[in-house]
Structure 1
Amino acid sequence: MVSSLMRYLPKTGSDICAFTFLLFSIHSIGIFELFIVLPSIYHSQSHATPTGGFSLYYFHVFMGFYIYFNVMLNLYLIITTNTSIKGRMLPSIIRPGWRFCAVCESNSPPRSFHCFTCKTCILKRDHHCTFTGNCIGLYNHRYYVSLVFYMCLACAYSCVLNFDFVYHLFGTVSVKSILTIMFPMISWIFYSGDSMTNVQVFMTSLCLVGFFLTGGLFVYHIVNSINGQIVHERTYNIKTYNLGWKENLALLLGKRWRIAWLCSLIKSPVPSDGLQYITREQYESLKTM
């Protein structure tokens, strides 16, 4: 089990550094929110009412573990899901839309491209994700978008909790407090706070930066998916496989795309074998028949 998992983990130095930073950010933010922020906001269980702070505290704890579970599950599924051409029966004759990969020494299906980091052709290759150390393709694209979504949700949730926390930390919301959060490195030079305050400011800033980064990534990739495009097709404005937003989302999240985003444990098979795709012209002709 361990050896089979190791072959999917990052191999290059940049991938290992990015993957390590991702794991550090996920767990440090989770620990910070659970053991520092929430106890600071709901510091007294005895003063909480059945419908007040005590119940809200456990609601936040539940939401935190739900988001954390989805983040780690999607990260695991991205790493362990095989979305390459390895183990597939490929034709020896090049079909229309196919290409020959000289590196793999085999024919490559439409929308598939070779990744020199993963050292194989990837089905419906979107991009190589440095933070997971793996390519994002047909069968793990759903998990990647879900990972970015839940990381964005985690950062947004943390920012909301941190607003109250920072208010109590500085005593007020002022220009100084905002600049301290936005530029923690500067605050460490000019702000004479203790080490614990510096850690709190850094973690709050990490949540804020993470929200903007993951939010931008999620918007970019969900727009691509709604338009039926991978990164290569968006770059060159290729709209050959745009079947409408519902069909496009089904290719991303699977046949049960309406609920598949709630949890990646929900079975939602992708309506494609990765070897052929319905083009826009073919789809329009089928609709008119």
Structure 2
Amino acid sequence: MCFILACTKYLARKNPKVFVRISHPIAVLFVILTTFFFVGLQMFYVMPQLFDVGGMMYKLGWLLAIFIMYNIFGNMVACHITNTSVESLPKDRQVPESGEEQLWHYCDICEKLMPPRSWHCILCKCCILKRDSHCLFTASCIGHNNQRYFFWCTFFMALGTGVAWATHTIATMKYFIYSDLNTDNLPPFWLIFTLILNTYTLAAPVSSVILQISALGHNGPLHDLNSDNLDIALWENFKMILGKKVLWTFLSPTVKSPLAHDGTQWKIKESDISEY
């Protein structure tokens, strides 16, 4: 994994334009195909081994699968189309207020002052408000305005693969529990193979969610998990990225949840009135 990340960063810096043109479509297509593959496998092959296809549990399984898919793809799209660059600010907010000039920093590429916690992305070719990282799977930078959608997207990926892994495991174990270990009663090869595949697939979104929660724990970016000078308590940190509706945003990416501020001013933990 470290080797892949190192190669990705090298190629991105070597030729950003070509990297974006090739990597973004491949990464997005990978998420779409993987999601449909596991949903199809789950609903047409695994679930029928556990529940009657005409029963209530099977129908509830379909409702859960549709809900998870809707939130994965909906949050992916919302993350991609939401402008989180400094240019998304009103013109009067793209310059520091009187007395705040020392808190802003100069971007050599954009050739102007930028708000605190905003950094330039060579792939997006602009400065991003509270830049967290650049995500290939949403084909966008993750920043102040769209971190909510990225969080829920990875959460539902982890939830979906987790549910699939759990039912996969139960369906596989059922063969061992209700058999005498006769060769004819062992789980079919495809079930064991897809369970192993599901296990590997589960690792990526779960790791991403854990990293996101770790970052939320101190209200910092992924590239600086040790800093906690902007930590204002976990619930308040969640509100900073999920907005005023907080956990209601779990239901749908279309839930309107205004953020606490525009991403140019940040409170330091030691003082409620200080701004970073």
Contact 1:92 1:106 in 2 (8 A): no
- Can you give the 5+ residue segments of structure 2 that lack an aligned partner in the other structure? 1-18
**Other-structure match for 1:4:** none
Matches within 5 A, 1:186-265: 200-234=191-225, 237-265=226-254
1:98 aligns with 2:104: yes
The answer as to whether partners of 1:167 and 1:173 remain within 8 angstroms in 2 is: no
Structure 1: tracts of 5 or more residues without a match: 1-9, 46-53, 182-196
The residue correspondences of 1:131-210 to structure 2 (distance < 5 A) are: 131-167=137-173, 200-210=191-201
TM-score, length-scaled by structure 1: 0.76
| Whole-angstrom CA distance in 2 between matches of 1:135 and 1:259 | 24
* Aligned AA (2:95): L
How does the TM-score come out when normalised to structure 2? 0.79
Q: Which residue of 2 aligns with 1:78?
A: 79
Match of 1:68 in 2: 69
**Paired position in structure 2 for 1:190:** none
Change beyond 3 A, Cα 1:269–1:62: same
CA 1:44–1:271: 2 relative to 1, 3 Å: closer
- Write the distance in 1 (CA, Å) between the matches of 2:208 and 2:180: 30
The alpha-carbon deviation at position 171 of structure 1 amounts to 8.2
Counterpart contact for 2:77–2:138, Cα < 8 Å: no
Give the fraction of aligned pairs with identical amino acids, expressed as a percent.
27
Where does 1:6-85 land on structure 2 (aligned, <5 Å)?
A: 11-43=20-52, 45=54, 54-85=55-86
Matched residue of 2:271: which SS?
Answer: helix
Distance 1:161 1:212 in 2: 16
User: CA, structure 1 residues 24+260, in 2 after alignment: closer, same or farther (shift >3 Å)?
Assistant: same
Aligned partner letter, 2:108:
A
From 119, 124, 130, give the equivalent of 2:125.
119
What is the Cα-based RMSD across aligned positions, in Å? 3.0
Q: Aligned pair in 2 of structure 1 residues 239, 96: CA closer, same or farther (>3 Å)?
A: farther
Deviation for aligned residue 1:39:
2.8
SS at match of 2:59: helix
The one-letter code sitting in structure 1 at the alignment partner of 2:148 is: R
Q: How many residues of Structure 1 are paired with residues of Structure 2 in the alignment?
A: 248
Q: Distance between the aligned counterparts of 2:33 and 2:125, measured in 1?
A: 27
Structure 2: distance between partners of 1:44 and 1:248: 43
CA 1:220–1:57: 2 relative to 1, 3 Å: same
**Compared with structure 1, are the counterparts of its residues 29 and 280 closer, same or farther at alpha carbon in structure 2 (3 Å cutoff)?**
same
SS of 1:282's partner is coil
C-alpha distance 109-285 of structure 1, shift in aligned 2 (>3 A): closer
Contact 1:109/1:123 (CA < 8 Å) preserved in 2?
A: yes
- Which residue of 270, 275, 280 corresponds with 2:259? 270
Who is 2:11 aligned against?
none
Is the Cα contact below 8 Å between 1:29 and 1:203 reproduced in 2?
A: no
- Bigger shift: residues 218-227 or 202-211: 202-211
1:230-258 CA deviation, whole Å, 9 max, x = no partner?
Answer: 12332xx3322111112211101111213
CA distance 1:174–1:227, shift in 2 (3 Å):
farther
**CA apart distance, 1:129:** 1.0
